[in-house]
């Protein structure tokens, strides 16, 4: 089995400050050392190693933007993006595991959580608590606000009833941001975001999905049967859940872009190494001009994709508008990931089609990029609205 270890240096050094470069390289070296040996086993068993999860917390990548006063790293959104990219070069399942924790859950609490909510959850999210983000339902995928989950104010508490589907990190999570409509007559303006802990009465994690790719990343349904939620567990304000969702997902799409860039880079790393080792007609495959041109095109596309992600993340950290850039990076990086991983499989030949070699898995992992956190069609619609005014 080929277990090529790519060079630890970040592939785009000129785009990063010294601090960012050191951070990205340290995360990649950790992934190379601690994650790579577990990739195939985690994929086959569709489960992230619990020992690895403990190491991720110890490394500090599960609370990157959490303030140091609450036990986090106190770093930037851009650092979260760098971490997701670095992990995804080795295993996109770990990339999205870290991504959801940082760009969705922690980011939502930073923006919408009260001081009491932050004091309650940030120290735990930085040390041992995993978060999940529950918006999608069977009948509300792209039309996310057509949700059927209902919330009723019982006076002493909220009562939530419904089902959520496709919830990443749900098997490991102890904290869930769950969206429900408290006033269906008001349409999307009745949607409210709630913080639900795994032990809340009337809440359980249901069926786990058997997926094509990113198999180690858990994806389950959530079942709410008159789930009791304290009033203090509303995130933001009642009826403002649609704003929580929209603004958080815009940032989450940048994280998925980083996952797709890292995945693409990992596939290219493997392809380059293999074509240098594989000989045909008396010389390495990498010496054939047709192969060189395909690798060159892939490297160019990855570099361009990385630029779209970094631009969107920089704009976000600068508190400047980034809606269009987030949609563009999500759209483009997912397309590049599918092309580059397909090329890697082709260059491996028959070996690329079997599980003994890593590019088969990366090819499977790439497909989800065009589907979750907003399909490619939705990204195109967002971009079109912005450019057409």
C-beta of residue 261 within 8 angstroms of C-beta of residue 88 = yes
Catalytic positions are: 373
How far from each other are the two terminal CA atoms of the chain, in whole angstroms? Answer: 52
Q: What angle do CA 265, 271, 276 make, to 5 degrees?
A: 130
Cα separation, 257 vs 12, whole angstroms = 16
What the block records as the tokens of 319 is 């508190």
Helix (H, G, I), strand (E, B) or coil at 148: coil
Cβ neighbours for 252, distance < 8 A, ≥ 6 positions apart: 99, 100, 103, 104, 107, 133, 373
C-beta of residue 356 within 8 angstroms of C-beta of residue 1 = yes
Q: Which residue has the tokens 């198999």?
A: 215
C-beta of residue 236 within 8 angstroms of C-beta of residue 193 = yes
Which one, of 337, 324, 340, lies nearest residue 379 by Cα?
324
**Cα 128 from chain centroid (whole Å):** 19
């Amino acid at each position: 089995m080929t277990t090529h270890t790519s060079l630890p240096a970040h592939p785009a050094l000129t785009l990063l400050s010294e601090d960012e470069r050191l951070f990205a390289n340290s995360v990649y070296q950790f992934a190379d050392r601690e994650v790579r040996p577990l990739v195939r086993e985690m994929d086959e068993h569709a489960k992230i190693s619990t020992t690895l999860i403990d190491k991720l917390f110890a490394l500090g990548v599960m609370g990157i933007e959490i303030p140091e006063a609450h036990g986090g790293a106190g770093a930037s959104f851009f650092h979260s993006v760098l971490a997701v990219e670095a992990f995804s070069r080795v295993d996109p399942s770990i990339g999205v595991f870290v991504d959801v924790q940082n760009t969705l859950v922690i980011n939502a609490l930073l923006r919408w959580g009260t001081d009491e909510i932050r004091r309650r959850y940030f120290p735990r999210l930085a040390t041992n608590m995993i978060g999940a983000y529950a918006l999608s339902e069977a009948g509300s995928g792209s039309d996310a606000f057509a949700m059927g989950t209902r919330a009723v104010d019982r006076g002493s508490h909220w009562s939530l009833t419904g089902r959520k589907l496709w919830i990443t990190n749900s098997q490991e999570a102890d904290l869930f941001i769950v969206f429900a409509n408290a006033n269906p007559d008001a349409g999307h303006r009745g949607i409210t975001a709630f913080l639900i802990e795994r032990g809340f009465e009337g809440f359980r994690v249901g069926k786990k999905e058997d997926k094509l790719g990113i198999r180690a990343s858990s994806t389950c349904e959530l079942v709410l049967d008159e789930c009791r939620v304290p009033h203090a567990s509303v995130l933001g304000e009642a009826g403002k859940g649609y704003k929580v969702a929209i603004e958080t997902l815009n940032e989450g799409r940048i994280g998925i872009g980083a996952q797709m860039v890292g995945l693409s880079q990992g596939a290219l790393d493997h392809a380059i190494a293999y074509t240098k080792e594989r000989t045909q007609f008396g010389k390495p495959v990498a010496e054939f001009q047709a192969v060189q041109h395909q690798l060159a095109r892939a490297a160019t596309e990855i570099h361009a994709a990385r630029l779209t992600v970094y631009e969107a993340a920089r704009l976000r950290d600068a508190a400047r508008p980034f809606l269009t850039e987030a949609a563009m990076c999500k759209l483009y990086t997912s397309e590049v990931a599918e092309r580059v991983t397909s090329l890697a499989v082709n260059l491996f030949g028959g070996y690329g089609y079997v599980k003994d070699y890593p590019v088969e898995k990366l090819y499977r992992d790439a497909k989800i990029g065009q589907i979750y956190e907003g399909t490619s069609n939705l990204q195109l619609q967002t971009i079109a609205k912005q450019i057409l005014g």
